Every structure is written in structure tokens, then in C-alpha cells.
């Protein structure tokens, strides 16, 4: 690495950052969105798992006017 070229690299980097004044704001926004994403994911993982639907407890009626199309439990 050439030490003589280091100051020009630093000045170029400083100029690039000053050319985009919103870059720091964009980086802060991205970080805030990442934090929100992590928080939302943690909340979703904390939700209890739904109880499995009962299967085969009460079969549909095979005859008569009611219970042949839909099995409703109160």
C-alpha cells in the first residue's frame, strides 16, 4: 500500500459522503427497519400455536335433511 495515495483516498471518501448528504439518513432508516423487522419476527414467534382441528370426532350425517353438507359444532 502506498502511503502517499492514502490521503487522496480519504479525501475521495469524504467527498463522496459529502456529495450524498442523505446517505447517513438512508443508513439510519435501513437500521431502523431492520430493528423493526427483528421485533416483528420476535412477536410472531412468541404467538402460541393454534390448536389442531378435531379430525374424525363427528362425521357428517349420511341421511336426512340436516348435517349432510356441513358439520357445525357449538
> Which pLDDT value is given to residue 19?
57
Could you tell me where the DSSP H helices lie in 1-74? 6-19, 23-46
- Per-residue pLDDT tens over the stretch 16-62: 655 567 888 889 999 999 999 999 999 999 999 887 766 656 666 67
> Which pLDDT value is given to residue 64?
72
- Per-residue pLDDT tens over the stretch 3-27: 554 555 555 655 565 556 788 888 9
Which band of pLDDT confidence, cut at 50, 70 and 90, is reported for residue 1? very low
DSSP SS3 for 37: helix
Amino acid at each position: 500500500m502506498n502511503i502517499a495515495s492514502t490521503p487522496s483516498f480519504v479525501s475521495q471518501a469524504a467527498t463522496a459522503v459529502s456529495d450524498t448528504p442523505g446517505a447517513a439518513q438512508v443508513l439510519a432508516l435501513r437500521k431502523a427497519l431492520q430493528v423493526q423487522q427483528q421485533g416483528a419476527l420476535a412477536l410472531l414467534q412468541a404467538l402460541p400455536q393454534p390448536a389442531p382441528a378435531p379430525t374424525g370426532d363427528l362425521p357428517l350425517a349420511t341421511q336426512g335433511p340436516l348435517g349432510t353438507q356441513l358439520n357445525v359444532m357449538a
